Amino acid sequence: MNTIHKNIDKRLDKLARHPIGGPTMWTVANCLTIIRIFISPIFLLIYLQHDSFGITSKGLPYALLFLLSVSELSDALDGLLARKYNQVTDLGKILDPMADSIYRISVFLTFTQPPVNVPLVFVFIFLYRDSVIGMLRTICALRGFALGARPSGKIKAVLQGISCFIIVLLLIPHSLGHLSNQALTAISSWCVVFTGLYALYSGIEYLYANRRHVQRVLIRNRKNATVAHD
C-alpha cells in the first residue's frame, strides 16, 4: 500500500512540476481552474435538456452530483497544488475567484428554472457581490498589484458549494415523487437566501480589509488631479 501511495505521489509531483508546454502560465493548477469554467454550461445543458442526452429524470440528480463533485474537487486541488509546488501566480489569484464566480453563479441561475424554481432576485445577490469584487480585482491587477482571497470568501465558497449539493440532493426524492414542487422550491430558496446573506457580508468584509487598495483605485493623486484641471 505504501508503495502505491509513493508511486501516486511521484506521478502527481511530476505532473504538477511540469506545466503544459513548458514554463508557461498553463500550470496544472490553472488548468484545473479553467475546468470549472467549462463545466458551467455543461451543467446548465444537462439540467435543462437531460432528455436529449438520454438522462432520465431519476438519473438527472446523479449526473448533476457528478459535475458538482468534479468542480468542487478541482476547486480544492488547484489551490493545494499551487501552494505545494510554488505555482501561486498573479494570474491564478485572479483566475481562481473568477472561475468560482462563473461556475457557482451559473449553477444558481440554473436552479431558477423548473423544477427547483429559486427566485431570480436571490441569485442577483451573488451576481452583484462578485461583479463588484471582480471589478476591483481587475483594476488592481492592471495597476500592478493582485488582491488575494480572504477567509470569509473561502467560507462563502464552501457555503455555496454545500447549498448546491443540498439542492441537487433534494432532486432525488423529488424525482421519486416523495417531495413536492412547493417543498423543493421553498427549501432551495432558504438555502440560497442564507448563503446569499453570508456572501453579502463577505463582500463588505473584503472591501473593508482592502480599503487601502480601494482608496488607491478610487482616489486620484494630486498630480493627476492637477493635470486633469489643466
Domain that residue 96 falls in: 2-229
Q: 156-194, pLDDT tens digit by residue?
A: 999 999 999 999 999 999 999 999 999 999 999 999 999
Residue with the bigger pLDDT between 5 and 136: it is: 136
Q: What is the pLDDT of residue 125?
A: 93
Separation CA 98–CA 93 (nearest Å): 9
Q: In the predicted model, is pLDDT for residue 52 greater than 50?
A: yes
Distance from C-alpha of 209 to C-alpha of 203, rounded to nearest angstrom? 10
CATH number at residue 33: 1.20.120
pLDDT given for residue 21 in this prediction:
38
What is the count of structural domains for the chain?
1
Alpha-carbon span 206 to 123, nearest angstrom: 19
Q: Would you state the pLDDT for residue 29?
A: 80
Q: How much is the mean pLDDT over the chain?
A: 83
In angstroms, the CA 46 to CA 62 distance is 11
Q: If we measure between CA atoms, which residue out of 192, 168, 165, 13 comes closest to residue 75? A: 165
